[in-house]
A and B are shown apart, each in its own frame.
Chain A
């Protein structure tokens, strides 16, 4: 389980989170949704203990994938995934190989991460969190830069991971993926949680937060504003 309670935080002179409380439990896939600047990434960083007022949890138990994380050097895909073993202070090859297989990049294991596509690099970063074998995954836009097929594959993997008893919290822009795969959707707007519902019922609340229309014909979906 991971939680923040009554958290308010400022970035410069702008309040990014207003008195936010959130608890999530093992076995859940929780999607954080909301418009740009709603505070999703800040809330995820708070859960990861990266804000000044928070403390980093046990790194063997909680893995964090940053938004737009890049590697400064041309490490190989396998080396990037291997960084996930740093909290355990070992070089165990089993978890690393397994992570590469899960993320579908086994064929790229010896490729330099600065010479593959953005989507492939993103999956290498995701594989790094799986190599840690944590109980809690905190993932900021794991499907950014991924093509639709790869996005669905990764979301299926995350759902299966949650169903196997881990906790997965993802920041997602793609509301359709959240509705389809998450157990629970937390909608943020202007630094406040405006809805916290089973994902299948959260579409109207998400529509309101995004300022979109909500259509039910022929099936529930988001439509552009009038």
Chain B
């Protein structure tokens, strides 16, 4: 099953190199290496980070609605990135952008997991995430109105929509390091997540360090999502959808979902990004819309469907 997924992912990645903005053709070398390769790699990394974070957050919070976007972690990462951008840190020191994203995501994740430790019920947790999102959105809007120049304004707007287009290989490499580091942290949490599915007391009696697990989940999510969000913007719902797609095939054991979750997240985001690139071919669009638009349009109804199913 894992091998099949790996094959599918490889096929999608190769296919993605052949699909341009509204065109279907074999590109010349420059376009391939400067435009389509970074876009494909960024899709793999960001999608993988989102898918794995979603699976870990749902497991650690025992909540099928958990998702880095819904819980405000992506929003907080965006705010951190915009702050880095706004004050011009990023212009002088390129890694400031992903670092800003990491710090923002770290604050968001730490706040949520600290909150979850006190009031672990699903509705209160989601509401706390909504509060984090709202604060991040408000401060983003403030940055928008105070933007020093049209260039910054355009950049912030682009961030809000979430897209993979026009990123350089250098930016991709900058995001890759923290994303892969975060994924390594998260992939090791499997047995702890399994134990936590029986509750915190039982997990502790099984020798699982519960507080350390929450801390690692927060840190891993911040790394896996934060830098990606700083470079690619707010791409929603991948983390929410991936675990639900996996459970019918891999069973419900949270740790059992972890190896496949990054692959399916990457495949979903790549597929969605190819769809938006093909958009101008079939729809009267002048340019391909950002991929975040499509994941939100498809993901939001999915959220409603899950919410109906888990409602008591």
A residues contacting B by CB (< 8 A) are 45, 48-50, 56, 58-60, 62-66, 69-76, 79-80, 83-84, 86-87, 89, 112, 125, 128, 132
17 additional A-B pairs beyond A66-B205, A69-B199, A73-B254, beta carbons within 8 Å, are A48-B201, A49-B204, A49-B205, A56-B204, A63-B205, A64-B205, A66-B198, A71-B197, A74-B247, A80-B198, A83-B195, A83-B198, A86-B194, A86-B195, A86-B206, A87-B207, A125-B198
Known: A72-B62, A75-B252, A87-B206. A66 touches B197 (CB 8 A): no
Across-interface contacts of B197 in A (CB, < 8 A): 71-73, 75, 83
Number of chain B interface residues as a range = 20 to 34
B residues contacting A by CB (< 8 A) are 62, 191, 194-199, 201-202, 204-208, 247, 251-254
Q: Are B207 and A66 in contact (CB under 8 A)?
A: no
With beta carbons under 8 angstroms apart, the residue of B196, B205, B253 that contacts A75 is B253
**Number of inter-chain CB pairs below 8 Å:** 74
Q: Are A83 and B206 in contact (CB under 8 A)?
A: yes
Q: Are A50 and B204 in contact (CB under 8 A)?
A: yes
Residue of B nearest to A50 (CB): B201
Among A71, A73, A74, A112, residue most surrounded by chain B Cβ atoms (within 10 Å): A73
Q: Are A64 and B201 in contact (CB under 8 A)?
A: yes
Residue of B nearest to A60 (CB): B207
- Minimum CB–CB distance for B267 against chain A, Å: 23
Across-interface contacts of B205 in A (CB, < 8 A): 48-50, 56, 59, 62-64, 66
Q: Are A86 and B191 in contact (CB under 8 A)?
A: yes
With beta carbons under 8 angstroms apart, the residue of B62, B207, B247, B254 that contacts A86 is B207
- Minimum CB–CB distance for B154 against chain A, Å: 44
The 6 A-B residue pairs whose C-beta atoms are closest, nearest first, are: A59-B207, A64-B205, A72-B62, A73-B252, A74-B252, A72-B197
Inter-chain CA distance A56–B251, complex, in Å, is: 31
Q: Are A69 and B251 in contact (CB under 8 A)?
A: no
- Minimum CB–CB distance for B55 against chain A, Å: 12
Inter-chain CA distance A128–B199, complex, in Å, is: 14
Q: Are A75 and B251 in contact (CB under 8 A)?
A: yes
Known: A72-B62, A75-B251, A86-B207. A45 touches B201 (CB 8 A): yes
- Minimum CB–CB distance for B13 against chain A, Å: 31
Inter-chain CA distance A34–B88, complex, in Å, is: 67
7 contacts between A and B (CB under 8 A): A45-B201, A59-B206, A72-B198, A74-B247, A75-B253, A89-B191, A125-B198
Across-interface contacts of A48 in B (CB, < 8 A): 201, 205
Across-interface contacts of A80 in B (CB, < 8 A): 198
Across-interface contacts of A70 in B (CB, < 8 A): 198-199
Residue of B nearest to A125 (CB): B198
Inter-chain CA distance A149–B116, complex, in Å, is: 40
Q: Are B202 and A66 in contact (CB under 8 A)?
A: yes
Q: Are B198 and A69 in contact (CB under 8 A)?
A: yes
- Minimum CB–CB distance for B263 against chain A, Å: 21
Across-interface contacts of A64 in B (CB, < 8 A): 201-202, 205
Across-interface contacts of A132 in B (CB, < 8 A): 206
Residue of A nearest to B243 (CB): A73
Inter-chain CA distance A173–B41, complex, in Å, is: 60
Across-interface contacts of A89 in B (CB, < 8 A): 191
Across-interface contacts of A58 in B (CB, < 8 A): 207
Across-interface contacts of A59 in B (CB, < 8 A): 205-207
Q: Are B204 and A79 in contact (CB under 8 A)?
A: no
Across-interface contacts of B194 in A (CB, < 8 A): 83, 86
Q: Are A86 and B208 in contact (CB under 8 A)?
A: yes
Q: Are A73 and B253 in contact (CB under 8 A)?
A: yes
